[in-house]
Each structure stands twice: as C-alpha cells, then as structure tokens.
Amino acid sequence: MKTLHLVLALGLAAGACRDARTPAVSDGGPGGRAAMLQGGVPAPVSPTAAVPVPTARKVVRNGNLSVEVADLAAALAAVKTETAAAGGYVTNETQGRDEYGIRQGSITCRIPADTLDQTLAKFQALGRVQSVAVQAEDITEQYFNLEIRLRNQQQLESRLLKLLDQPGNKVSDLVEVEREVARVRSEIDELEGRKRFWDSQVALSTLRVELHEPRPVIAGGGGGVLDTLKKAFSAAGENVVGTLAWFIAAAGVVIPAALVLWLIWRIWKEIRRFRMPR
C-alpha cells in the first residue's frame, strides 16, 4: 500500500509539473538510472537536467493575396503549377461568378515556409495585385513548454512501467498503477498530436489566393464617368426622398396646429358677436 500511495503522489506531482510547466529532466546518467528505483518506487526527478533551450524560433507564417487576372482558368493552373514546384499542395479551390457575371475563384495552398516569399512573388506576377498580407506568429514559448510537459510525462510513464515489472506487487496496487499508466499515456498521445500539428504549421505556410477577371468601371467603382453619374443620380434621389419626408413630417405638426388655431378663432369670434349690443 505504501508503494501505491507513492505512485499516486508521483502522478499528482507530474500533474503539478504539467500545470506549472516546469523543466523536464533526464535520468542523470548511469548513476541516476541505477537509483531510479529505490525501495520499489520511482526516484524523484532531478532538477538539474533540463530540456535544452531551442536554438531556432518556431514561427507560423500565413498569407492572403488578391489579384486581378486576364484569364481565371490560366491563373488557377499557374497557381497549382507553382505550388507543386515549391513542394506544396492545394487544399481548397472554388470558382464562380460575382453579381456582375465576372468570373472569380479562390485557391488555398500549403507551401513550405522557407519558400513562401518566393512563391508569393510569383503569384503576384500573374496580374494586377489588389491586396497582399502576410501574418507571422511566434510560438517558440508555447512549443518549448509543450516539449517540457511531453518529456515529463514520458519519464513518468517509464517509471510506472518499471513498477509493473517488479515481483511481489499486490493486485490492487497493479490495478492502480495500470490506471495511472493509462492516464499518462493518454496525455502523452494528446501532447504528441499537438506537437505534430505545430510542426506542420511551422513547416508549411497557408496561402489563400483570390483571383478575379477585370470588372467594368461602373461595377468596380474605379471613379469613371458612368460611376460618377450613377452616384450623383443616387444622391439626388436620396435628397428628393429626404425633402418629401421632411414636408410630410412637418405637415403632421403644422396642419393640426392650424386647425386648432382656426377653431379658437371661430369660437372667439362667436363669443364677441353674442356680446355686442344690438
């Protein structure tokens, strides 16, 4: 039973390390491995052997690009070709027409991060650039903390598995240790999955490219004569409607007031007529 209590205490200590994100350590060499099990229980983790500090930053870079092209089909084909040449792949593609019947489409690519800038420059050369943006997120600290938690849990699992191999364990103790091993393994799987996801995000950048064929001046709002006239007539119509609305609102106040004044005047006039001597 004493062994069971120590095992559970070890599990709680590992959970505390996970929440506090304390540095993970190694076994401390041959001497540390020899002292790993003392009296049938895991030896405490040495605070002197920490996970190496990462020398390279972990940065996630993604981008968005909007380009006006002469031929949508040719531009989409060129984007796919350049993506494959860069060692990437296409994850999503859409095509359609806007409200003016102009062909447009979008394509999302996953491109090696070290070729993002070169590939983006090639995509910009497809036509007239409307907008371009590149975002970068530094996740070095989160990644380092995740590696610490993962290594701590892996070391705890190794010590628990060695407890299971010791002779003379009680069945109740074995059940508790196996339950703790299952919990630790579940967390290791979760951390390893998150690490693989971050590795993928750092290694491959996501680039969304929006393409459309040239739009008419009146549709594009480029400041042409037709667009100016359209805006002028629209403003004039709004002014006329606004003026009529003002007159209607004013009439709703003026007419009742005039009616009340007329009635007062008539009553006053009748009173004077009856009071005048005959």
Q: Measured between alpha carbons, how far is 159 from 118 in angstroms, rounded to an integer?
A: 49
Model pLDDT for residues 186-240, shown as the tens digit of each residue:
999 999 999 999 999 999 999 999 999 998 765 444 445 556 666 777 777 777 7
β-bridge partners, 209:
65, 107
Last residue of a domain, one of 216, 240, 264: 216
Q: Are residues 44 and 159 in the same domain?
A: yes
> Looking at residue 130, which CATH number applies to its domain?
3.30.70
pLDDT number for residue 170: 82
Using DSSP bridges, classify how beta strands 103-112 and 128-138 pair: parallel, antiparallel or unpaired.
unpaired
Cβ–Cβ < 8 Å for 85, 64: no
Q: Are residues 226 and 247 in the same domain?
A: yes
| Residue 14 domain flag | yes
| Residue 186 domain flag | no
Q: Are residues 128 and 153 in the same domain?
A: no
Model pLDDT for residues 71-119, shown as the tens digit of each residue:
999 999 999 999 999 999 999 999 999 888 899 999 999 999 999 999 9
Q: Are residues 148 and 134 in the same domain?
A: no
Q: Are residues 134 and 146 in the same domain?
A: no
Q: Are residues 210 and 135 in the same domain?
A: yes
Q: Are residues 83 and 153 in the same domain?
A: no
Q: Estimate the crossing angle of helix 2-20 against helix 171-203, to 10 degrees.
A: 20
Q: Are residues 73 and 110 in the same domain?
A: yes
- Structural element, H or E, at residue 137: strand 128-138
| Residue 184 domain flag | no
Q: Spell out the long-range contacts of 72-78 with Cβ–Cβ below 8 A and sequence spacing 24 or more.
A: 72/103, 72/104, 72/105, 72/211, 72/212, 72/213, 75/126, 75/127, 75/211, 76/105, 76/107, 76/211, 78/126
Model pLDDT for residues 150-189, shown as the tens digit of each residue:
999 999 999 998 888 888 778 888 888 889 999 999 999 9
Q: Are residues 89 and 79 in the same domain?
A: yes
Q: How many structural domains are present in the chain?
A: 3
CB 145: neighbour CB atoms within 10 A?
A: 16
Domain span at 94: 59-139+205-216
Model pLDDT for residues 1-24, shown as the tens digit of each residue:
444 444 445 554 555 444 444 333
